[in-house]
Amino acid sequence: MYTKSNALFEQAGKVIPGGVNSPVRAFKSVGGTPVFMQHAKGAYLYDVDGNRYIDYINSWGPMILGHAYEPVVKAIQEYATYSTSFGAPTELEVKVAELIVDMVPNIDMVRMVNSGTEACMSALRLARGYTGRNKVIKFEGNYHGHADSFLVSAGSGVATLGIQSVPGVTTAVAEDTLSVPYNNLPAVEQLVAENPDQIAAIIIEPVAGNMGCILPQPGFLEGLRALCDANGILLIMDEVMTGFRLAKGGAQELLGIKGDIITFGKIIGGGMPVGAFAGRREIMEHVAPAGKVYQAGTLSGNPIAMIAGYTLLKTLQEHPSIYTQLEEKTTQLATGLREAFGAAGVVYQINQIGSMLSVHFAEYPIVDFTSASGANNELFRRFFHAMLERGVYLPPSAFETWFICHALTQEDIEFTVNAAKASMLAIK
């Protein structure tokens, strides 16, 4: 069933560290061999052995309308003929910036970069440059890319691999990053009190998606906003995952919370490598060449990446019903999964908001990294493989969020729920 994948993974291991170009792809926490993909269309992935899967990763978010979305593919093809890079400004970049400013609340200006990592790294530099302070507060199990400052108590692959402190990150850098449990406002207030006039920024995933999907508890984000305002701290809303996913204006719009600097990635590039950071004019004018906070990129604002993102974002802007439909589908999936797990008599938690969902096999609510880590991840491992065998491609770690795409049909959801029922019977 996986002959070619197995052979490719062995070959890959000789020339690529761990056989993959990003750790979460490696199936480390669920065991087994990663599946090598050949092509994809809509809600389906097809691997090199010809197996078909319903995709609940969707490239970790970007494929919100499904794979190989026709208008995006066409736009890329057209723009590729004009040149794949100029290294000079283009009209398209202005249109993209205007579109983003139009879609997202609380921002006047935006700078394009090439990944979510770059966006968060640059946002932190800007916050430090703007406030003249060095320290940053982040939350355990939140992931903001792989820049040094953020690899302290990080989620996603760092959590999946169980890496406590990352070799190569100097003590000096790590000491400027203070980390606290998600959803614990008193802990943040205490840190701020202990470090007067030293905190440049609090960075947060407004809905956490890198330790499974964890919702902010009522009052938590509001409390952070007030704390930042009272202490001259910038609130960096990392919307790399939630931006353009939870609503056209992201979590800021859905939850009604205002960030000072907003970071983007994933959906913003329509499947091409793009990130961005944005904010009020007064803050963003500190970015070079308008200001002195240096930030640059040879391929930033790349025309192919820009037209892919532009085409996808424009579709989302023009069809707000997509978000309602995505949420309906996700709720329906969650209901079906509850049935499947309930029938099997296992304890479970399903966290869901909009088209983000995650499953933890635990009897208590999953509200932070500690509760997520305490779930039965051995059961998740077996569930993952049973689903894979049945043609359902889930994130290969309980510390990751499932993403639902608009191409997913009623039949796909029923197929998935039936696969979940059969899987639970098979692994019990």
Ligand X SMILES: *Cc1c(COP(=O)(O)O)cnc(C)c1O
Residues near ligand X (CB under 6 A) are 115-117, 120, 143-145, 205, 209-210, 238, 240-241, 265, 275
Q: Pick between residue 244 and residue 348 the one whose CB is nearest to ligand X.
A: 244
CA distance 225 to 428: 45
Q: Pick between residue 144 and residue 360 the one whose CB is nearest to ligand X.
A: 144
Shortest approach of ligand X to residue 308 CB, angstroms? Answer: 14
Concerning whether 421 is annotated as a catalytic residue, the answer is no
Given a contact cutoff of 8 angstroms between Cβ atoms, the answer to whether 402 and 409 are in contact is no
Q: Pick between residue 158 and residue 188 the one whose CB is nearest to ligand X.
A: 158
CA dihedral 76, 298, 149, 374 (to 10 degrees): 20
Shortest approach of ligand X to residue 23 CB, angstroms? Answer: 11
Given a contact cutoff of 8 angstroms between Cβ atoms, the answer to whether 4 and 12 are in contact is no
Shortest approach of ligand X to residue 422 CB, angstroms? Answer: 31
CA dihedral 218, 222, 223, 228 (to 10 degrees): 160
Shortest approach of ligand X to residue 190 CB, angstroms? Answer: 25
Q: Pick between residue 115 and residue 358 the one whose CB is nearest to ligand X.
A: 115
Q: What is the DSSP letter of 59?
A: G
Q: Pick between residue 264 and residue 361 the one whose CB is nearest to ligand X.
A: 264
Alpha helix (H) residue ranges in 266-392: 281-284, 303-318, 321-344, 369-373, 377-389
CA distance 64 to 59: 9
| Closest alpha carbon to 399 in 166, 156, 171 | 156
Shortest approach of ligand X to residue 272 CB, angstroms? Answer: 11
| Other Cβ atoms closer than 10 A to 290 | 12
Angle (CA) 401 30 51, round 5°: 85
Tokens at 45, concatenated:
């992935």
Concerning whether 143 is annotated as a catalytic residue, the answer is yes
Give the C-alpha distances (Å, rounded to integers) separating 222 from 218, 256, 259, 330. Answer: 8, 9, 11, 26
CA distance 128 to 174: 15
Concerning whether 292 is annotated as a catalytic residue, the answer is no
Angle (CA) 423 331 361, round 5°: 45
Q: Which of 238, 260, 368, 412 is catalytic?
A: 238
Tokens at 266, concatenated:
């994933």
Q: Pick between residue 356 and residue 424 the one whose CB is nearest to ligand X.
A: 356
Q: Which of 28, 135, 266, 329 is catalytic?
A: 266
Shortest approach of ligand X to residue 76 CB, angstroms? Answer: 19
Q: Pick between residue 72 and residue 417 the one whose CB is nearest to ligand X.
A: 72
Q: Are β-strands 261-264 and 234-238 bridged in parallel, bridged antiparallel, or unpaired?
A: parallel
Tokens at 376, concatenated:
């039965």
Q: Which of 44, 53, 79, 143 is catalytic?
A: 143
Helix axis angle, 321-344 to 410-427, nearest 10°? 20
As annotated, the active-site residues are 143, 238, 266
